[in-house]
Amino acid sequence: MHELGIAQGILDIIQQYVPQEQASDVQWVRVRVGQMAGVVADSLEFSFQAIVADTPWQAARLAIDKVPAVANCSRCSRKFEIEEVAFLCPACGSTDIRLISGTDLQVVEIEMDDGQDEAL
């Protein structure tokens, strides 16, 4: 399960940007995971929770944005979402395409509690 290694990498990034004294303030970590990245979102979430358990970052939760695989046809210039594993342009049938998204795996945001409770 390579999701465990990815989860450890996400925690490493958090630790790089958030001092341990502020670890409990981390609420959400938003990551982008491309359809073609080979990552199972549920396994990544489970692995992340296992990695942060019993650490100062244990309150952190993952928010996973799934990125579709999008390609561009070199023959007819049509941009399209790949919905199945057949890498063909739906407009002209060409296999001369270039994948332009869907392999993403990136931490895009760390949301922290600002420590200010709103008084109503």
Domains of the chain as residue ranges with CATH: 3-10+26-112 (3.30.2320.80)
Whether residue 23 contacts residue 52, with contact meaning beta carbons closer than 8 Å, is answered with no
Please, are residues 60 and 28 in contact by the beta-carbon 8 Å criterion? yes
Mean pLDDT of 92-116: 83
Confidence of residue 101 (pLDDT cuts 50, 70, 90): confident
Output the pLDDT for position 102: 82
The pLDDT, as a whole number, for residue 41 is 93
Nearest-5° angle of CA 20, CA 4, CA 19?
10
Confidence of residue 37 (pLDDT cuts 50, 70, 90): confident
pLDDT for 116: 53
Closest to 36 (Cα-Cα) out of 95, 87, 86, 101: 101
Q: Tokens for 87, please give them.
A: 């890498």
Residue 117 has pLDDT above 50, yes or no: no
Report the chain's terminal Cα–Cα distance, integer Å.
Answer: 46
What pTM did the predictor assign? 0.77
Is the pLDDT at 120 greater than 60, yes or no? no
Instruction: Give the per-residue pLDDT at 105.
Output: 86
Could you tell me the pLDDT band of residue 118, with boundaries at 50, 70 and 90? Answer: very low
Burial of 100 (0-12, 13-18, 19+ CB in 10 A): exposed
Contacts of 46 (CB under 8 A, 6+ apart): 3
CB-side exposure of 28: number of CA atoms within 13 Å?
A: 9
